[in-house]
Amino acid sequence: MADEKQRSLRLLSASPFPLPHGLRFSYGTAGFRSDGAILSSTVFRAGIVAALRALKRGSAIGVMITASHNPVADNGVKIADPDGGMMTQTWEPFADALANAPDPQTLLQLVLEFAKDENIPLGGAQSAEILLGRDTRPSGEFLLEAAKQGITAIIGAATIDMGIVTTPQLHWMVRSRNNGLKASESDYFAQLADSFRCLMDLVPNEVEKKGVDTKLIVDGANGVGGAKLEVLKEMLMGVEIHTRNSGKDGEGILNEKCGADYVQKEKVVPCGFGSDDVGVRCTSLDGDADRLVYFHVLSASNDRIDLVDGDKILSLFAIFIKEQLKILNDEKDDGLKKELPARLGIVQTAYANGASTDYLKQMGLEVVSTPTGVKYLHKKASEYDVGIYFEANRHGTILFSENFISLLESRNNELASTSSGSEHHKAAQRLLAVSQLINQAVGDALSGLLLVEAILQSMGWSFKKWSELYHDLPSRQLKVKVADRSAIITANAETQVVKPSGLQEAIDMETAKYTRGRCFVRPSGTEDVVRVYAEGTTQEAADSLAKSVAEHVTRLLGGWEQAHRKKERSTSKILTSTRKTLCGSMNKMEMLLI
């Protein structure tokens, strides 16, 4: 045992991936993210964190190499906890410290101290599994190897390479494996296809007779989602899926002028779509297929779209779930009044369009707000029997509590024997199918789009009807580059600035100039920018509110333009020299692998 421990420590201190000089890495909104060329040390160290987490929890942990909607040259790494959710925030400071340890000795010291504090057995007495996945980025292959080396530097930790997968697939696999369920990619596809079929079988006859448009064109962002959908669609009935920008045969560049982030932010058609698609239901995934937005191409003569974003997808899901719960608890059908208590909660962030929040509240739903990032929304949603969360950019899912599912299952069994085929029974079956279809680990564009399709067909809704549920308030998002975005500290789910002083007062003063104006600023967790969001009753109002607040941000935090340019120059020098070192390491590693 002592020898094993010695070996582990030797591996750690011989870290083959030096920290790029002068850079700092931070476990942001969705893990570490940066230029893929400078991430190997970070990914190696994230591998160590994942291995320690797996040993601590005695369960499988996930490591996903992706930078989602970012440009193709970027990459990132995030860790999935045993339940398939994001790694607990309490470990983020350790992940940050490890990622920035200046030399192997400090790295080793940090690992030893942390393992001691957390009672993590180092020495091989306990074993642990880490599931690894990556998206289609070219730097992914090398970074995956860096992660493997970090993981296996901790004796007892073993890697299982799941290959190229979507982020939600990897999270789903971790969750399923830890729940003792089948967890391969084909199991994932089978679960989605089965539960989708179940929902389609339950489409009311009168709606089916009327006929609903079944054609859907999917923009795969030239990423992993398009290719996976090609496989999945072969297993589906009742929906006619056409994929574009699926990234095969060098079709296009990842996320470039396509994908959910582009479509949602630019509000224009993605590349590969045009006049032939006017009036057809279209959807865009992002680069790692955990986001999705729907749209209609409005006219053959320009690139404008009618966008249905996360807020409206959330509203559609909320209407459907609320309706099924109502039917289930409705006395009329068979006199079998048995209340199935279900606390339904809707979780949004400050980026949710104000019109959506008003709409959901008018429907009598409980709506709460959290800071940006799935980790906050997911945690909040899990406090409900049924919690639906979405970011406006469409990161989200529906969570069902274990207690609710077990009550629902027994209710379903009871109804199957007493009133099979009744409306109560169908509602119970639909809710169970939704809980199987929608990814319980994390937001998932593939399962999300199948649920949207099934609900539209169940309710007999056209895209137009859905899109006209409510009218978004005009909004504008701006990015402001400042020398140090961490100088902004926010409170109240990021709607108020606490520091620097004077900024919130300036925002309040500008906002007061507009009817129904709303504006907030926060430092991005994934890009080196401060984000400004503004809403108003007209586009001009939203634009001008955002612009004037952006000027205050620059006034109070800027003035460091020069410093920023200096920083960029030195970063680009670092990047060039790191790329050279990296090529050396890659060659060395290839030799090692051979």
Ligand X SMILES: CC(=O)N[C@H]1[C@@H](OP(=O)(O)O)O[C@H](CO)[C@@H](O)[C@@H]1O
* Catalytic (active-site) positions: 68
Closest residue by Cα to residue 68 from 526, 452, 440, 506: 526
* 66 is an annotated ligand-binding site residue: no
Minimum separation from the CB atom of position 589 to ligand X (A)? 29
Interface with ligand X (CB under 6 A), residue from 166, 393, 467, 511: 393
How far is it, in rounded angstroms, from Cα 22 to Cα 147? 22
Q: Is 531 in the site for ligand X (CB under 6 A)?
A: yes
CA distances from 421 to 243, 322, 393, 430, 548 (A): 36, 20, 38, 12, 59
Q: Is 528 in the site for ligand X (CB under 6 A)?
A: no
* 531 is an annotated ligand-binding site residue: yes
* 121 is an annotated ligand-binding site residue: no
Minimum separation from the CB atom of position 452 to ligand X (A)? 19
CA distances from 212 to 87, 93, 216, 281, 451 (A): 41, 51, 12, 11, 15
**Do residues 64 and 58 touch, judged by C-beta distance below 8 A?**
no
Tokens of 140: 């992914």
> What letter would DSSP give residue 278?
B
Q: Which does 281 bind (CB under 5 to 8 A by kind): Mg ion, ligand X, none?
A: none
Q: Which does 385 bind (CB under 5 to 8 A by kind): Mg ion, ligand X, none?
A: none
Interface with ligand X (CB under 6 A), residue from 15, 34, 41, 68: 68
* 525 is an annotated ligand-binding site residue: yes
Ranges of H-type helices in 104-156: 104-117, 140-152
How far is it, in rounded angstroms, from Cα 331 to Cα 328? 8
* 522 is an annotated ligand-binding site residue: yes
Q: Which does 288 bind (CB under 5 to 8 A by kind): Mg ion, ligand X, none?
A: Mg ion
Interface with ligand X (CB under 6 A), residue from 29, 370, 544, 585: 29
> What letter would DSSP give residue 268?
B
**Do residues 238 and 457 touch, judged by C-beta distance below 8 A?**
yes
How far is it, in rounded angstroms, from Cα 143 to Cα 125? 28
Interface with Mg ion (CB under 5 A), residue from 288, 453, 494, 510: 288
Ranges of H-type helices in 58-103: 92-99
Q: Is 374 in the site for ligand X (CB under 6 A)?
A: yes
Helix or strand (DSSP H, E) at 417:
helix 402-418
* 323 is an annotated ligand-binding site residue: no
CA distances from 53 to 114, 118, 157, 160 (A): 11, 10, 10, 16
CA distances from 51 to 67, 115, 419 (A): 21, 11, 50
Give the interface size with ligand X as a residue count (CB under 6 A). 15
Q: Is 286 in the site for Mg ion (CB under 5 A)?
A: yes
Sole window of 200-208, 246-254, 288-296, 333-341 interacting with Mg ion (rule: CB under 5 A): 288-296
**Do residues 84 and 442 touch, judged by C-beta distance below 8 A?**
yes
Dihedral, 114, 120, 124, 129 alpha carbons, nearest 10 = -100
Buried-state track 564-589, b at ≥16 Cβ within 10 A, e below 16? eeeeeeebeebbeebeebbeebeeeb
Q: Which does 136 bind (CB under 5 to 8 A by kind): Mg ion, ligand X, none?
A: none
Q: Which does 374 bind (CB under 5 to 8 A by kind): ligand X, Mg ion, none?
A: ligand X
Half-sphere exposure (CA, 13 Å, Cβ side) for 384? 21
How far is it, in rounded angstroms, from Cα 160 to Cα 149? 13
* 117 is an annotated ligand-binding site residue: no
* 140 is an annotated ligand-binding site residue: no
Q: Is 26 in the site for ligand X (CB under 6 A)?
A: no
Q: Is 372 in the site for ligand X (CB under 6 A)?
A: yes
Minimum separation from the CB atom of position 270 to Mg ion (A)? 15
Q: Which is nearer to ligand X, 252 or 287 (CB)?
A: 287
Q: Which does 286 bind (CB under 5 to 8 A by kind): Mg ion, ligand X, none?
A: Mg ion
* 290 is an annotated ligand-binding site residue: yes
Sole window of 91-99, 168-176, 461-469, 522-530 interacting with ligand X (rule: CB under 6 A): 522-530
Residue nearest to Mg ion (CB): 68
Minimum separation from the CB atom of position 30 to ligand X (A)? 4
Give the interface size with Mg ion as a residue count (CB under 5 A). 4
Minimum separation from the CB atom of position 111 to ligand X (A)? 28
Minimum separation from the CB atom of position 446 to Mg ion (A)? 12
* 391 is an annotated ligand-binding site residue: yes
Three-class DSSP labels, 470-493: CCCCCEEEEEECCCCHHHCEEECC
Q: Which does 81 bind (CB under 5 to 8 A by kind): Mg ion, ligand X, none?
A: none
Minimum separation from the CB atom of position 357 to Mg ion (A)? 23
Sole window of 86-94, 183-191, 322-330, 523-531 interacting with ligand X (rule: CB under 6 A): 523-531
Sole window of 89-97, 109-117, 251-259, 367-375 interacting with ligand X (rule: CB under 6 A): 367-375
Report residue 63: phi and psi, to 5°: -130, 120
Task: Name residues whose C-beta falls within 8 Å of residue 365's C-beta, 6 or more positions apart in sequence.
Answer: 318, 322, 344, 346
Q: Is 277 in the site for Mg ion (CB under 5 A)?
A: no
Which residues define the annotated binding site for Mg(2+)? 68, 286, 288, 290
Residues of this chain that interact with Mg ion (CB under 5 A) are 68, 286, 288, 290
Residues of this chain that interact with ligand X (CB under 6 A) are 29-30, 68, 351, 372-374, 391, 393, 395, 524-527, 531
